[in-house]
């Protein structure tokens, strides 16, 4: 049977979603459910000297007001990237120490949400405040020495000797994911078992993190994360609220729910940190790019280290013989920043792909031809081959669809029928193709049902569609009666689903499980001819079911990596493998129209072409790319956290003022896929899509604005006032 024959016409969860039947964590119905609300710290940094809770406790319907004194014996679960399982090492409410604005100082639990919210407003915290720096560039920030990340050839010398040079600084603000589903935790403690319902990309980390924090046996903790309403990296580990809610449920002997309000999330959850970038590029007399020096600073918290890997993609986007990069951490008084969709790749591509455009212009070359002329045939960093690299195909196919050949090179030379300045820009993107260890358990029953349990999470991206399409490509089963279990620690061990490895990790084991079921059936049938679907054949063979379990991991990983998977620790491999390196690629073509007097910028048209290996579910893949392009437009033109340095907090902490695109901001988005399986990376041929589709969008917009106006904007978001 050929692969990919399942029609994939609709989202498997579409009907439930539009009927409101999909159950997110906060929808979990439990008898005697109590409601919690947090009280945010009134300062940024310092010590809690007193907390007045009497008025809140006296309010009718209040069950408890917990402060740090109720958390004796509770420990931090540790920072995810430091061997722990939480988004930061600082767990609020374990002591009187305060390290970032908005961290909870009390948790009010009441019979209703209204009571909890009203009572929380009556809690008074008195603090001793210390000086702080809550944003990049503020007095008190601590800049670490530069750490070199990539070094090929002699980039400084080659740049100094170059015939044409670009030296440009770019900046990127702090951004917040703002998934539609707020971070919600429902905890129930019953018969020595702690059951947690929380939308997470990492149910395993929540399980083992809670066990470590509360001193429980991990077997006592169950985490269900069946559906998420978006995550984008913000839900990739145990949240600071999880342990608070779990402890409250254990102390009260009642299930407790907390939905962190959006305004608080800007200070209690992870985010994309602010960054500054300096890119120096040099070309020789023939216009060939010979040197790149890329230096960057990225905001961090005081305690935890999120290492920027801006150059992981920019060092291999092109064949540049001399490349050097170094990064500095800038320590500030904020909650720990983390991964947000294309965490480093999106800002890096904005800086680097803008600079490449600047060099193409400075050397008098067409920016598309310039990129194609520097196509790499082997990885410039390791010398290894790419598992597959179809960036040039993306650029050529995208250019055709876009009509790039009709572009006139001179900035400001194109106008539309209404007198708007028209600009056409292009940029490339790449993102590592990584894989996590994953386990699939597949049971097909004679009664017509199928259950598939697999490591992975449904964040809204369509994981269940990709899984069902894979099963249906290999098995004649009833698609309406397939129960797909993801994000459930009671099904199989759950990995951190992030880094665009969800599909590349789950689909190979799902596919292998399907093939093994077929093999088993063939053995049972022997030479007998049988009609009907798999369920009917099992019934005729008098077998109640066939069950198989399959494990997989990234190429070159030892089997010991399953130990990490089984303990809720990150275990993905890539993008460097023993015999090759592996990346997904993207090319974005953007048309902007700039109103010549107000300089209002619109983006009527984008063409994005992607090399993500095999496209498993065309329906959800197309939607992934659209979402990424919309986000790229928002990141380029709208999105930024506005920090007040005196108050040390985010001023625009709601969706009214944290501006993201609306429908009226989005024009045509034409999505193309190369769709060639990468069989070196895995047997399913999948590389990964979720993040690469956003990488380069902002640069393509900036490059188009330059083409429209002759103005080069190097600060995100790019706004009309920057062009005055």
Q: Which is nearer to ligand MOS, 502 or 717 (CB)?
A: 502
Hey, what are 129's tokens?
């405040």
Q: What is the DSSP letter of 621?
A: H
- Minimum distance, C-beta of residue 80 to ligand MOS, in the bound complex (Å): 11
Q: Which is nearer to ligand MOS, 105 or 697 (CB)?
A: 697
Are the CB atoms for 660 and 195 separated by under 8 Å?
no
Nearest partner of 122 among 58, 61, 64, 70, judged by Cα:
58
Q: Which is nearer to ligand MOS, 162 or 625 (CB)?
A: 625
Residue with tokens 């090179």: 409
Q: Which is nearer to ligand MOS, 24 or 232 (CB)?
A: 232
Check the CA dihedral 141-142-147-149 and report its sign. Answer: negative
Nearest partner of 281 among 346, 347, 353, judged by Cα:
353
What distance in Å separates the CA atoms of residue 199 and residue 460, rounded to the nearest whole number?
11
Residues with Cβ < 8 Å from 5, sequence gap 6 or more? 472, 473
Q: What is the DSSP letter of 495?
A: -
Nearest partner of 246 among 487, 51, 254, judged by Cα:
254
- Minimum distance, C-beta of residue 288 to ligand MOS, in the bound complex (Å): 35
Residues recorded for the chain: 724
- Minimum distance, C-beta of residue 198 to ligand MOS, in the bound complex (Å): 15
Site for ligand MOS, rule CB under 6 A:
201, 232-233, 236, 339-341, 343, 498-499
* Distance spanning both ends of the chain, measured CA to CA: 61
What distance in Å separates the CA atoms of residue 196 and residue 490, rounded to the nearest whole number?
12
Nearest partner of 488 among 160, 228, 718, judged by Cα:
228
Give the side-chain half-sphere CA count within 13 A for 9. Answer: 3
Q: Which is nearer to ligand MOS, 43 or 81 (CB)?
A: 81
Between vectors from CA 42 to CA 77 and to CA 68, what angle results, nearest 5°? 40
- Give the number of other Cβ atoms within 10 Å of residue 345's Cβ: 27
Q: What is the DSSP letter of 72?
A: T
Distance of CA 44 to the CA centre of its chain: 27
Q: H helices of 189-238, where? A: 203-214
What distance in Å separates the CA atoms of residue 476 and residue 450, rounded to the nearest whole number?
11
Residues with Cβ < 8 Å from 700, sequence gap 6 or more? 353, 425, 426, 427, 588, 589, 590, 606
Q: Give the containing element (helix H, strand E) for 195.
A: strand 193-198
Residue number of the CB atom closest to ligand MOS: 233
Are the CB atoms for 333 and 44 separated by under 8 Å?
yes
Are the CB atoms for 313 and 430 separated by under 8 Å?
yes
Hey, what are 348's tokens?
């890096």
Are the CB atoms for 55 and 106 separated by under 8 Å?
no
SS (H, E, C) 418-442: CCCEEEEEEEEEEEECCECCEEEEE
- Minimum distance, C-beta of residue 79 to ligand MOS, in the bound complex (Å): 16
Q: CA of 44: how far to CAs of 3, 120, 234, 305, 648, in Å? A: 55, 19, 21, 19, 6
Nearest partner of 635 among 365, 396, 349, 399, judged by Cα:
349
Check the CA dihedral 341-345-348-354 and report its sign. Answer: negative
Hey, what are 124's tokens?
């008074």
| 3-class secondary structure, 259 | strand
Are the CB atoms for 549 and 441 separated by under 8 Å?
yes
Q: Which is nearer to ligand MOS, 199 or 233 (CB)?
A: 233
| 3-class secondary structure, 688 | coil
- Minimum distance, C-beta of residue 696 to ligand MOS, in the bound complex (Å): 16
What distance in Å separates the CA atoms of residue 90 and residue 243, rounded to the nearest whole number?
12
Q: Which is nearer to ligand MOS, 185 or 201 (CB)?
A: 201
| 3-class secondary structure, 472 | helix
Hey, what are 326's tokens?
């170094």
Q: Which is nearer to ligand MOS, 320 or 340 (CB)?
A: 340
What distance in Å separates the CA atoms of residue 168 and residue 281, rounded to the nearest whole number?
9
């Amino acid at each position: 049977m050929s692969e990919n024959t399942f029609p994939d016409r609709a989202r498997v969860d579409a009907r439930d979603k539009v009927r409101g039947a999909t159950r997110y964590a906060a929808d979990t119905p439990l008898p005697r459910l109590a409601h919690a609300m947090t009280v945010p710290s009134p300062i940024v940094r310092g010590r809690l000297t007193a907390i007045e809770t009497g008025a809140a406790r006296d309010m009718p319907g209040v069950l408890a007001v917990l402060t740090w004194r109720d958390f004796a014996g509770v420990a931090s679960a540790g920072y995810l990237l430091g061997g722990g399982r939480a988004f930061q090492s600082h767990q609020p409410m374990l002591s009187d120490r305060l390290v970032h604005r908005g961290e909870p100082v009390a948790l009010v639990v009441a019979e209703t949400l209204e009571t909890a919210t009203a009572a929380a407003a009556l809690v008074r915290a008195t603090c001793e405040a210390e000086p702080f720096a809550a944003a990049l560039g503020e007095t008190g920030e601590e800049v670490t020495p530069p750490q070199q990340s990539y070094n090929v050839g002699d980039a400084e010398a080659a740049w100094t000797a170059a015939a044409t040079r670009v030296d440009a600084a770019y900046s990127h603000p702090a951004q917040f994911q703002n998934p539609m589903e707020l971070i919600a935790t429902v905890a129930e403690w019953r018969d020595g078992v702690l059951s947690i319902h929380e939308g997470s990309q990492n149910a395993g980390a929540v399980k083992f993190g809670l066990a470590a924090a509360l001193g429980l046996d991990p077997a006592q903790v169950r985490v269900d994360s069946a559906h998420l309403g978006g995550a984008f990296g913000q839900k990739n580990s145990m949240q600071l609220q999880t342990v608070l809610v779990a402890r409250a449920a254990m102390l009260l002997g009642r299930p407790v729910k907390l939905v962190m309000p959006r305004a608080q999330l800007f200070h209690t959850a992870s985010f994309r940190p602010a960054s500054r970038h300096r890119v120096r590029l040099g070309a020789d007399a023939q216009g060939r790019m010979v040197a790149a020096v890329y230096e960057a600073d990225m905001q961090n918290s005081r305690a935890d280290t999120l290492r920027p890997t801006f150059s992981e993609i920019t060092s291999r986007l092109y064949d540049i013989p001399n490349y050097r990069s170094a990064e500095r951490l800038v320590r500030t008084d904020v909650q720990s920043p983390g991964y947000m969709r294309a965490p480093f790749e999106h800002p890096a591509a904005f800086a680097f792909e803008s600079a490449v455009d600047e060099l193409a212009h400075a050397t008098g070359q067409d920016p598309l031809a310039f990129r194609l002329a520097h196509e790499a045939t082997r990885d410039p960093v390791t010398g290894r081959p790419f598992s597959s690299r179809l960036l040039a195909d993306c650029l050529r196919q995208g250019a055709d669809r876009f009509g790039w050949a009709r572009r006139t090179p001179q900035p400001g030379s194109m106008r539309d029928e209404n007198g708007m300045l028209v600009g056409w820009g292009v940029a490339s993107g790449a993102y590592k193709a990584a894989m996590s260890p994953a386990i699939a358990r597949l049971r097909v029953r004679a009664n017509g049902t199928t259950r598939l349990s697999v490591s992975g999470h449904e964040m809204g991206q369509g994981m269940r569609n990709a899984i069902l399409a894979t099963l249906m490509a290999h098995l004649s089963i009833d698609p309406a009666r397939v129960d797909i279990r993801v994000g459930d620690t009671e099904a199989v061990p759950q990995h951190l689903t992030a880094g665009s490895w969800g599909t590349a990790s789950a689909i190979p084991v799902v596919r292998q499980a399907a093939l093994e079921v077929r093999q088993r059936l063939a053995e049972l049938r022997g030479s007998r001819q049988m009609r009907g679907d798999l369920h009917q054949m099992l019934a005729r063979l008098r077998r109640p079911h066939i069950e198989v379990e399959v494990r997989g991991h990234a190429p070159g990983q030892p089997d010991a990596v399953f130990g990490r998977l089984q303990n809720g620790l990150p275990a993905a491999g890539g993008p460097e493998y023993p015999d090759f390196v592996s990346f997904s690629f993207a090319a974005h073509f953007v048309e902007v129209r700039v109103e010549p007097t107000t300089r209002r910028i619109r983006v009527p048209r984008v063409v994005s072409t992607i090399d993500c290996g095999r496209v498993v579910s065309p329906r959800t893949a197309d939607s992934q790319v659209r979402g990424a392009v919309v986000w790229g437009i928002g990141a380029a033109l709208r999105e930024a956290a506005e920090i007040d340095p005196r108050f040390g907090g985010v001023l625009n902490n709601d969706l009214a003022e944290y501006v993201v695109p609306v429908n009226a901001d989005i024009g045509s988005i034409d999505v193309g896929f190369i769709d060639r399986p990468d069989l070196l990376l895995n047997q399913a041929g999948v590389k990964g899509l979720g993040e690469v589709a956003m990488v380069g969008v902002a640069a393509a917009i900036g490059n188009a604005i330059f083409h429209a106006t002759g103005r080069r904007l190097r600060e995100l978001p790019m706004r009309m006032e920057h062009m005055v």
